[in-house]
Every structure is written in structure tokens, then in C-alpha cells.
Amino acid sequence: MGAWVLRATAFGVLVVVLRTLLGFAMIYWPTEGSWLRILCLAVIVLAVAAWGLADGRGDRQANPDPERGGADLTVRWLKAGVAGGLGSGLVAWILDLLPKLDLGGNGLLFELTAGASFIVLLIFVPAMAGVALGRFLAGREHRTGAAAAA
């Protein structure tokens, strides 16, 4: 299985699970919606950034010289974001058709365009920040280790 497929599946499922939990929470605690939305958003951003950090760190450790390249993590995470956004939008739309489950009542067109584009950015941007930080930290460790050995 491709690395981007694993990431797309994991974060698509995470988005759908959090939207479902938020839908149930909004039924039983409608006055708590604002902080619950922020909490769900923070969970997604932190999970994506952590995985991006691990990817960037691993890539820099495998390829210590930034001039000689490494894995193309930008395309990997962009593919994961697009597939995760479209997949989670489609699944959320299907689940929203079930009775007693409220995921916002958005139409299919909205879920596959505006909703999916938000999820794409929600996956791609924190992942790229995590990759950059991971590469920086691993590169710094490599430079300090090489300086101490010399």
C-alpha cells in the first residue's frame, strides 16, 4: 500500500469519526458547540503535524545531505490530503443520510468541493509544517553529532 494511501485513510477516518462525535455532541450539548469544534480541529491538526514531523525527521535521517534530495514528501502529503478530503466528504454525506445522525446536512456538491478543500488544507498545511520542523531538527542533530565527532 502506498504511503499516501495509508495517510489518506487514517486522516479521512479521523475526520469522519470526529465529525460524527461532534454531531452527537451537538444533539446532547448544543451550547458547548464552539469549544467542541475547536477541540476537534486541534486534534486533527496535532495528529497531522505529528505524523508530518515523523516523516520529515525520518527522511532527513535517511538522507542527511539536503542538497542530494530525499523523499518527495510534498506530493505524498498532497495526495493524502486530496484523497482524505474527498473520501471523508463522501462518507460524511452518506452517514448524514442516516436518521438520528446529524453531520451538518450538507449536500454532496458541498462535501466534494468546499468541504473537501477545507480538509485538504487541514491535512496538507500542518503536515508540511511538521515535515519542515522534522527535517530541521534531524538536520540539526546530524550537524551537532558531526561537529562533536570531529
Q: What is the pLDDT of residues 18-67, one digit of tens each?
A: 999 998 898 888 899 899 999 999 999 999 999 999 999 999 988 887 77
Q: Give the CA distances from residue 100 to residues 16, 18, 26, 105, in Å, rounded to whole numbers and listed in that order.
A: 16, 16, 12, 12
Predicted confidence (pLDDT) per residue in 5-30, tens digit: 999 999 999 999 999 999 889 888 88
**Cα 62 to Cα 110: distance, rounded to the nearest angstrom:** 41
- Round the CA-based radius of gyration of the chain to a whole number and report it: 18
Q: Alpha helices, DSSP H only, in the chain?
A: 3-28, 33-62, 73-96, 108-110, 116-149
The amino acid present at 50, given as its one-letter code, is: A
Using pLDDT thresholds of 50, 70 and 90, give the confidence band for residue 150: low
The whole-number pLDDT of residue 140 equals: 80
The whole-number pLDDT of residue 26 equals: 87
The structural domain count of the chain equals 1
* Domain ranges, residue 92: 3-63+70-149
67-85: average pLDDT = 90
141-145: average pLDDT = 71
Q: Name 43's Cβ contacts closer than 8 Å, sequence gap at least 6.
A: 14, 18
